[in-house]
Amino acid sequence: MLIALIVGFALAMLLMSVAIYFGYTNAYSTDVNTLTVKILGIPIYELTKSGTEYIGKSIGVYMGAVCGICMAISVIAEELISKARHK
């Protein structure tokens, strides 16, 4: 189960990193003043324009929620695979 939790956490970090990368790419290409990066409608990161650059600020509570969701899905998948192997 510990491995499943670690895998879920790693997947959440990867997912959020990719979303934030594309958020920056989108912000620079559209030249907006603010942009909120979301995953499945959950806001995880806010980009605010400061001069010609964007300053990012994480929304910690929601980032934690995304991590929790990914970790829960990983544990559920591990349990389902474990039960399928033991039948």
Residues 6+ apart with CB under 8 A from 44: 16, 19, 20, 37, 38, 58, 59, 62, 63, 66
pLDDT tens digits, residue range 1-20?
889 999 999 999 999 999 99
Q: Which residues pair with 58 in a beta bridge?
A: 45
Residue 86 or 18, more confident = 18
Contact predicate 9/67, CB 8 Å: yes
- CB-count burial class (<10 Å; 0-12, 13-18, 19+) for 9: middle
Contact predicate 19/37, CB 8 Å: yes
pLDDT tens digits, residue range 34-70?
999 999 999 999 999 999 999 999 998 999 999 999 9
| pTM of the predicted model as reported, rounded to 2 decimal places | 0.87
